[in-house]
Structure 1
Amino acid sequence: MNNIAENMLSYHHWANQTILNRLWELPSALLHQETASSYPTLAATLTHLYAVDQMWYLVVQGTDMPEALEQSRPLMEQGNDWSLEEFDERLSQQAQQYDTWIKQTDLKRTIQLNNPYVGVRQTSLEEIVLHLVNHGTDHRGNIATMLRQLGHSSVMNDYILFWYQQSETV
Structure 2
Amino acid sequence: MKHSVLQTYNYHVWANKRLFEHLKTLPGDVWSTKIQSVFPTISQTFIHMYIADTIWLGTLLGKPFDEMKTSAVQLTEKIKDTTLQEMEQLFFTLSEDYQGFFAREENFEKVISPEHPHFGRLDTNAFELIQHVVNHGTYHRGNITAMLRQLGYTGTSTDYIFYLYAMNGENK
The alignment covers a number of residue pairs equal to 170
Match in the other structure for 1:81: 81
Name the counterpart of 1:129.
Answer: 130
Distance 1:34 1:117 in 2: 32
**With structure 2 as the length reference, what TM-score do the two structures score?**
0.93
CA RMSD of aligned residues (A): 1.5
Q: What is the SS of the residue equivalent to 1:3?
A: helix
Q: Is the 8 A contact 2:5 2:130 kept in 1?
A: yes
Contact persistence 2:2–2:108 (CA under 8 A):
no
CA distance in 1 between counterparts of 2:118 and 2:159 reads 29
Identity of aligned residues (%): 30
User: Does structure 1 residue 168 correspond to structure 2 residue 169?
Assistant: yes
Distance in 2 separating the partners of 1:51 and 1:115: 17
For residues 52 and 104 of structure 2, the distance between their equivalents in structure 1, rounded to whole angstroms, comes to 22
Q: Give the match for residue 110 of structure 1.
A: 111
In the other structure, the counterpart of 1:96 is 96
- Partner Cα separation in structure 1 for residue 75 and residue 81 of structure 2: 10
Shift of residue 132, structure 1, vs aligned partner: 0.5
Go from structure 1 to structure 2 and tell me whether the alpha carbon gap of 1:31 and 1:152 turns closer, same or farther (over 3 Å shift): same
Q: CA deviation at 1:4?
A: 1.6
SS for the counterpart of 2:124 is strand
> Distance between the aligned counterparts of 2:11 and 2:117, measured in 1?
28
Aligned residues of 1:55 and 1:68 also touching (Cα < 8 A) = yes
Q: Given the two structures, how large is their TM-score scaled by the length of structure 1? A: 0.94
What displacement does 1:100 show?
A: 2.0
Structure-2 residue corresponding to 1:49: 49
User: CA separation in 1, counterparts of 2:161 and 2:6?
Assistant: 16
Where 1:155 maps in the other structure, the secondary structure is coil
Kept after mapping to 2: 8 A contact 1:31/1:42: yes
- 1:44–1:79 Cα contact (<8 Å) kept: no
Q: Using the TM superposition, give the Cα deviation of residue 2 of structure 1 relative to its aligned residue in structure 2, in angstroms.
A: 6.0
State the 1:159 CA deviation: 0.5
Once residues 69 and 27 of structure 1 are traced to their aligned partners in structure 2, the CA distance between those partners, rounded to angstroms, is 34
